[in-house]
């Protein structure tokens, strides 16, 4: 598989509104809008950092994956996303190597990207997302 770069870091927060000021006012990043992905019960806010982005994640529901993450481990880095050239090929390669996956097939995430998560038991506890975007 070909990994192009770290696409973004997904950071779980209790509230984008209440927590964004550190990222915008202190670090000087620009919040480029928010998007709710109902299928994943999450609202995301993207803040570009050079070639990558910080993605703040706020749960839209108490039983969403981000809410559960915060409940267990508190706010913090929830996943690391690598941009790949071809996500279908990457998933086939991982399956052939016996790597456990959360998503067997790509699904559509924020910004229309094709995304898939690997199971953290394969990655030293780090939730790894693969994503493929056209731009």
Q: Which is nearer to Zn ion, 94 or 114 (CB)?
A: 114
Q: Is the dihedral angle over the CA atoms 122, 75, 10, 29 positive or is it negative?
A: negative
If the CB atoms of residues 57 and 94 are measured against Zn ion, the closer one turns out to be 57
Phi and psi for 107 in degrees, rounded to 5?
A: -125, 175
Q: Is residue 18 within 8 Å of 75, Cβ to Cβ?
A: no
Is there binding between residue 10 and Zn ion (CB under 5 A)?
A: yes
Q: Shortest distance, CB of residue 37 to Zn ion, whole angstroms? A: 10
Rounded distance between C-alpha atoms, residue 95 and residue 108, angstroms: 20
Binding range to Zn ion, per CB under 5 A, among 4-12, 15-23, 83-91, 117-125: 4-12
Nearer to Zn ion, 94 or 131 (CB): 131
Q: Which is nearer to Zn ion, 66 or 94 (CB)?
A: 66
Among 47, 67, 70, 81, the residue binding Zn ion under the rule CB under 5 A is 81
How many other C-beta atoms can be found within 10 angstroms of the C-beta atom of residue 105? 10
Three-class SS state of 128: strand
Bridge partners for 39 per DSSP:
none
Residue span binding Zn ion (CB under 5 A) among the ranges 19-27, 73-81, 88-96, 97-105: 73-81
Minimum CB distance to Zn ion smaller for 11 or for 94 = 11
Q: Does position 64 bind Zn ion by CB under 5 A?
A: no
What residues line the site for Zn ion (CB under 5 A)?
10, 81, 129
């Amino acid at each position: 598989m070909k990994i192009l770069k770290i696409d973004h870091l997904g950071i779980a927060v209790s509230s984008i509104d209440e927590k964004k000021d550190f990222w915008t006012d202190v670090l000087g990043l620009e919040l480029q809008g928010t998007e709710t992905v109902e299928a994943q019960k999450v609202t995301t806010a993207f803040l570009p950092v050079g070639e990558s982005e910080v993605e703040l994640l706020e749960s839209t529901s108490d039983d969403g994956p981000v809410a559960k993450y915060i409940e267990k481990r508190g706010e913090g880095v929830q996943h690391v996303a690598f941009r790949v050239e071809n996500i279908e090929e990457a998933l086939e390669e991982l399956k052939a190597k016996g790597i456990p996956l959360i998503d067997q097939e790509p699904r559509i995430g924020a910004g229309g990207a094709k995304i898939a998560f690997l199971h953290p038991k394969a990655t030293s506890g780090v939730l790894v997302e693969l994503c493929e975007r056209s731009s």
